[in-house]
Structure 1
Amino acid sequence: LEEKMGEDVRVTVLGHVQRGGSPTAYDRIMSTLIGQAAVKAALDATPDTEPMLVGIQNNRIHLAPLMECVNTNQRVNKAIQALDFETAYHLRGPGFHAAFDILRTLVRAVPHPPKPGQRQLHIAILNAGAPAPGMNATVRAAVRLAVDQGHQPLGVYRGFRGLINNQLQELNWMDVNGWAPTGGSELGTSRRIPEGGDFYAIARTLEEHKVDALLVVGGWAGYEAAYSLYEERRNFPAFNIPIICIPASIDNNLPGAEYSIGSDTALNSITEVIDKIKQSAVASNRCFIIEVMGGYCGYLALMSAIACGAERVYLHEEGIRLAALEEDLALLVTGFEHGKRLALMIRNEFANPLYTAPFLAALFEEESKDLFTVRTSVLGHMQQGGNPTPADRIMAARMASEAVNFIVQVCQARDGDPPAVCLGLMEDRLQLTPFREIRRIYDVEHERAKQQWWMELRPIVRILAQPGPQF
């Protein structure tokens, strides 16, 4: 680069800085779960039990035969040393394949030219619902992956409000340059859900721009708005296009998705703030009641409790009862009597309309026996900000790739009614959930899935918060 192109080049070797630093929320949570699973596996084992490796596959603890894992890893190393990169590539697994293919497209200086005679699709892309870190990364990946396949993305400004007001603009390769690491939403977002005459205005916008598909990146308000278009298809032929929703919400509360883009960033923001609060609390024998966002979904509350070592977590899914508060108070008093210097109680913002954070603080301080003081901290909208974490950026690229490929395949097939689906990571792979299934799997009143995988982790918080082992 320096000799042949005359560029000013510098080399930076990161070195051991990569081994340092505070662990992320994900690292804290997963190491806790792995430790718990390892202890259980050891207690359940017999002298004849095969040695096992405790690992993680898509947020689930996974046990695999140790020697099988070692042999596979050695095969990868041998293939690389022998310059057999094709074998090494396949041994890495399907997740590596997808990531590698996406990367090869996103890092190009210019996209591939369109194929001769191919049909160019017009794909409208918008953000909707509350802001979530990673929205920009998703839009960037979707735009570049679509352009690389010869199609034309259309950016819709201010969510569905932009569709109503005809605020669309063509987005090309360099228009989204630098979007990946930024928080917020460059396109803008809104919670506007179409009604009445809005549908006619949206239909005219879609027809004017010859939109072939709609890609919605956002939270529940975006899903509701997309669902309303789906229900109005009989009245507006312009809505008979493929519609796909990508989950982007810090609350991690969307149907057909165990992981929402933005939730990892929010969790790390919460963890970083709580770490500082703990340093304040430990200096003065203090209990903090910390209130986090999430709506009626307790994901952020529970996961931050595991990551930060909270004594208790209060969720709307469980509710709050006075008898339980008495037990929690007794736990606090016992802990401080035995030398505890700080305590954390994390409360979901809608855990209970009566037992609010100020109420809990007043109750605990009144009954503290002067062993500790109590303060509250409502973290607020800082949880929606910040630049997306690597995990959110990677998931944004994966989901954008899946969505664009799905749109292209459906539009080329032209088979039957255009699908309306929401995309999400479920257990071990990305899956599509039809809109007609949403009401069956989703608690619309409380805006959360009826079955939430992380609820099974609740006992771990209580076990780790005990003042001592319970025999």
Structure 2
Amino acid sequence: MYLGIIEQGGTVIGSARCKDFRERAGRVKAAKNLVLNGITNLVCIGGDGSLTGANCFRNEWKDLLDELVSSGELSKEQREKHSSLSIVGLVGSIDNDFCGTDMTIGTDTALHRIIEAVDAISTTAASHQRCFVLEVMGRHCGYLALVAALACEADFVFVPEYPHKEGWKDKLCKKLQSERDVGQRLNIILVCEGAIDMQGNSITATQVQELVQTRLSYDTRITVLGHVQRGGRPSAFDRILATRMGAESVLALIEAKSDSPALIISLDGNQVVRKQLMQCVQKTLNVQKCMKDQKFEDCVSARGRSFEGNLNIYKILSRLEPPKTASTENLCSSKYSFAVVAVGAPACGANAAVRSFVRMSLVKGYKVMGVLDSLSGLSKGNMKILNWMDVHGWAAKGGSMLGTKRTLPKDVGIESIANQIRDNKIGGILFVGGFEAYQAVVQLVEAQHLYSSLKIPLLVIPSTISNNVPGTDFSLGCDSSLNEIVSICDRIKQSALGSKRRVFVVETMGGYCGYLATLAGIAGGADAAYINEEDFTCSDLIKDCDHMSTKMENSQIKRGLILVNEKANTNFNTDFIFHLFSESGRRSFSTRSNVLGHMQQGGSPSPFDRNMGTKLGTKAAQKMITLCEKNLAEDGTVVATDPDCAVLVGVIRRKTEYTPVMELAKRTDFSKRLPLDQWWLKLRPLLRILAKHDDVYTAEAEDDDQ
């Protein structure tokens, strides 16, 4: 039953809201069933109701067994043998409404469905100059609506935790009108199904539609997404999250003692954490109480730092009304400008970062120069002023709207770059790109003693599908690329299964970094993933080939999937591995090879990359402004020589960190373009264990200190 299910949505074991379990008689029956089947460890996957019921079940366990013994349904020996019940909870809910975890299983997939719908609707809305009001799920939690609003550049969003103040109707209409005045052809409004006003009155999509039609006479349509948000194949993020949580729940149950409290496995940024179940349930109930009492600020705080951070970013961007004209001529008060340049290979999410950086800077009074054609364009002065509407719609676009190349400052001439910075009065530069962008800033910092114009704030937002930049857990683009790879692997596995006894060897990008191969291997149910960071020999390959032959003979799944990082090994490359498996396994299976190539860089950005790009762009603009104001000379120029003025803006665990690039240089292998420490390597044993190889997986979860 459990074979080949990772790509399936829903749950293959079934799920239900059981009314019987709410009554004691139902729980007595459940206790008897567990004892008769010899079960004393239980993993409960569900929302706050399911987890609260599971904790109640555990607290009543001994009394339930006593009742069963008294009625003669169980013996005393059975009671003694099953005297304690250990429970671990995994939160599965698309609403992301459970306090204690940043993300619940299913939320990212639901966001994919919402963004896919918005992207599809946007084309018809722009064509007909329409306003669309979309209703999304979330009776008591506005997470889906809020994060989707960030990802799709929604003009307005309604969530229950933070109702708009009185006068919101005027504010909404004024905002829509001002956007039409500067040439925007469509409007998107997201309404959470549980949206309310400050008095607790319900706000519906129909009410919003009538308001826009009455006041503005816009052609306004409603789309209710409904249960479409629950369906479809799981996203790569959800597959990996559920896999990590599932493995951790087993280890938690093994370590549990009779007096151990019930736990949940939660996600704190990028770290799996064990928390006490009832503490999290109580926090969730507290949110509901705050909403009932209309204490909305307390409600937002109770939701947790992740929700509060998303809301704060949206509030910043949503109040950034465009200037009265599309020109920035009279908008910017500063004597100097910012510049933004893309460096390296294209990656999804980079355009979202540029968009939020530009708009945040504009409202704060700073002109932004968009550098065309990367560093070669900067060396030649090929740049243009980016206005408000110039970056409209960029969050949903893949690739690089500015144009990007792999050239470095030393390739195009550092002196020419320094001269352009001086001549154009640039007070700070944002580099959006991968390892080349990081390396470019290192080179410019090293040349600051030669050119005074380089002594300005230099910021890097990591943007590469390889996820090989130090100073961050994730780079923009790696999530979108993972989803592309996993989607392709799903289709490849379907082909292999139909052909029977077929193994596919698939090459992924990443340079020397095995992030894509490893994470796609976990999310795609691969049998092996070969990477440069983990040495392997010809004997290892033959052993894996023999393992594949055994699988074909004894398993119900008659197909195989092998992932190979493009620079996993100079000699044992994709072609070698393909031929080895073809020859060694020819009596058991046939072998095919696929090189995915640049399709991994394309496509529409995932919700994760859009949101991270939007947040990092906003954070970068705020940091740039702070550094410029702090290092402003009397003559109005910026002179920034402190190491903290040349930083990489990254996400480490759940925090945005600003790490000096020269500090990161000490933690970098420049020959292989890799950070010396990579967090995801600890997941490697999990990949092999799930493919039924012998390996040891240690607990990654930390006990929560709170």
One-letter identity of the residue aligned with 1:371: S
**2:250 corresponding residue in structure 1:** 39
Deviates more, 1:362-371 or 1:453-462: 362-371
- The answer to whether 1:141 aligns with 2:356 is yes
Larger RCO (alpha carbons 8 Å, 6+ apart)? 1
1:369 deviates by 5.0
Q: Cα distance 1:156–1:438, how it changes in 2: closer, same or farther (>3 A)?
A: same
Identity value in percent? 37
- The answer to whether 1:378 aligns with 2:634 is no
One-letter identity of the residue aligned with 2:464: S
- The answer to whether 1:238 aligns with 2:449 is no
Q: Deviations over 1:106-139 (max 9, x none)?
A: 3457247999996465110011001111111110
One-letter identity of the residue aligned with 2:565: N
Deviates more, 1:224-233 or 1:112-121: 112-121
1:417 deviates by 2.2
SS at match of 1:216: strand
Residue in structure 2 matching 1:412, options 610, 626, 629: 629
SS at match of 1:466: coil
1:6 deviates by 0.8
Deviates more, 1:380-389 or 1:415-424: 415-424
SS at match of 2:221: coil
**2:550 corresponding residue in structure 1:** 334
1-structure distance, mates of 2:332, 2:376: 35
One-letter identity of the residue aligned with 2:522: I
**2:691 corresponding residue in structure 1:** 465
Q: Cα distance 1:454–1:197, how it changes in 2: closer, same or farther (>3 A)?
A: closer
**2:438 corresponding residue in structure 1:** 223
**1:106 corresponding residue in structure 2:** 317
Larger Rg belongs to: 2
Answer whether contact 2:422 2:453 (CA < 8 A) is retained. yes
Q: Deviations over 1:49-75 (max 9, x none)?
A: 111111112221111111111111111
- The answer to whether 1:154 aligns with 2:369 is yes
TM-score by length of 1: 0.96
**1:424 corresponding residue in structure 2:** 650
RMSD of Structure 2 on Structure 1 (CA):
2.1
SS at match of 1:346: strand
Answer whether contact 1:213 1:407 (CA < 8 A) is retained. yes
1:432 deviates by 1.4
**1:249 corresponding residue in structure 2:** 464
Q: Cα distance 1:109–1:256, how it changes in 2: closer, same or farther (>3 A)?
A: closer
TM-score by length of 2: 0.64
1-structure distance, mates of 2:462, 2:331: 34
**1:14 corresponding residue in structure 2:** 225
SS at match of 1:283: helix
SS at match of 1:42: helix
SS at match of 1:287: strand
Answer whether contact 1:138 1:397 (CA < 8 A) is retained. yes
- The answer to whether 1:290 aligns with 2:506 is yes
1:431 deviates by 0.9
One-letter identity of the residue aligned with 1:292: T
Q: Cα distance 1:417–1:183, how it changes in 2: closer, same or farther (>3 A)?
A: same
Deviates more, 1:27-36 or 1:217-226: 217-226
Answer whether contact 2:351 2:401 (CA < 8 A) is retained. yes
Q: Cα distance 1:300–1:373, how it changes in 2: closer, same or farther (>3 A)?
A: same
**1:356 corresponding residue in structure 2:** 573
One-letter identity of the residue aligned with 2:465: I
* Ranges in structure 1 where 5+ consecutive residues have no aligned partner: none
1-structure distance, mates of 2:678, 2:347: 20
SS at match of 1:195: helix
Q: Deviations over 1:194-251 (max 9, x none)?
A: 2277222112211121111010000111222222111111111100000010000000
**1:97 corresponding residue in structure 2:** 308
Answer whether contact 1:120 1:150 (CA < 8 A) is retained. no
Answer whether contact 2:339 2:428 (CA < 8 A) is retained. yes
One-letter identity of the residue aligned with 1:268: N
Matches within 5 A, 1:57-206: 57-108=268-319, 110-111=321-322, 119=334, 121-195=336-410, 198-206=413-421
1:81 deviates by 2.1
One-letter identity of the residue aligned with 2:254: L
2-structure distance, mates of 1:319, 1:100: 44
SS at match of 1:98: helix
**2:611 corresponding residue in structure 1:** 394
Answer whether contact 1:120 1:152 (CA < 8 A) is retained. no
Q: Cα distance 1:257–1:200, how it changes in 2: closer, same or farther (>3 A)?
A: same
Aligned length, in residue pairs = 470
1:358 deviates by 2.2
SS at match of 2:395: coil
Deviates more, 1:272-281 or 1:190-199: 190-199
Answer whether contact 2:531 2:564 (CA < 8 A) is retained. yes
* Ranges in structure 2 where 5+ consecutive residues have no aligned partner: 1-211, 633-639, 697-706
One-letter identity of the residue aligned with 2:531: L
SS at match of 1:146: helix
One-letter identity of the residue aligned with 1:101: N
One-letter identity of the residue aligned with 1:71: Q
2-structure distance, mates of 1:322, 1:291: 18
SS at match of 2:260: coil
Q: Cα distance 1:257–1:305, how it changes in 2: closer, same or farther (>3 A)?
A: same
2-structure distance, mates of 1:196, 1:85: 54
Answer whether contact 2:508 2:596 (CA < 8 A) is retained. yes
**2:665 corresponding residue in structure 1:** 439
